[in-house]
Structure 1
Amino acid sequence: MGWSPMIYKFVDGGEVPVPPDTAVVRAVLEPHDIGDPRRTVGEDGWLGFWIRASDGSEAEVFADEYGIYVERPQAGAVFGIIAELASRLGAVVINPSRPGVVCRAEEYAHLPAVMRDDVLVIEMTGQALEAALTGPRRT
């Protein structure tokens, strides 16, 4: 069974995420992309990457005008790539199977007010992000 964390960028407390900067998405993910480069941009305009970290852990990543979807990330260094992407975008990470948002202190103030009650502020590293998303369920 797969799970898919999502990466969204909010600005000034707005409730609608802003589109991710595709240049940043490409800069972070292309060096790790092992998929077919001809399929990076889909017919629907989505960007798609199949990334592999140095330890062999992988994930599929899709970006559209609303956010970024990380499909089935495997445990390991791939979370470092995801953390770098979130940091460089100034974005937050949401695991839809658990309550709450994971972000750096810099992004907390930009969250919509309704999302600020259930936030885990971390240093955005691969290990910290993986622990926050896969560790014991917060209540």
Structure 2
Amino acid sequence: MFRRPTSPEHLNGLSRDTAIAALGIVFTEVGPDYLRGTMPVDERTRQPYGLLHGGASVLFAETLGSSAGNQCVPEGSVCVGIEINANHVRGVRSGLVTGTARAVHVGGRTQVWEIRIEDEHGRLACISRLTLAVVAAGGA
């Protein structure tokens, strides 16, 4: 499914000096039809009540989905987010969450990705759906 060869190391390199790095997000695995990463639940990603901040979960989800989507487009094209939703189904107070992005639809003009974020026990914390537009590079 991915058109561009990539690795976690490559994606982590692209993330230097971005919100991705500031929140401690790390790409960990590129599979044949998914992209996986982790994010710490700590002072950078918690809200004042001690739980994983929903906005941090959404940033994590969009990071995984957009990064995966950009590996599916031909040279000269890029993906940009046009809509995201998230259902926060379990609070997480500490540790590491793992997110996995899988394609629902990969078309020439749009893509839809589902991103599941789970706690360290494999329990679903957040499920998100991201819609991406495929545009000409430089036209985003």
Please report the TM-score for the alignment, with normalisation by the length of structure 1.
Answer: 0.32
Instruction: Say which structure is richer in strand.
Output: 2
- Greater RCO, CA 8 A, separation 6+: 1
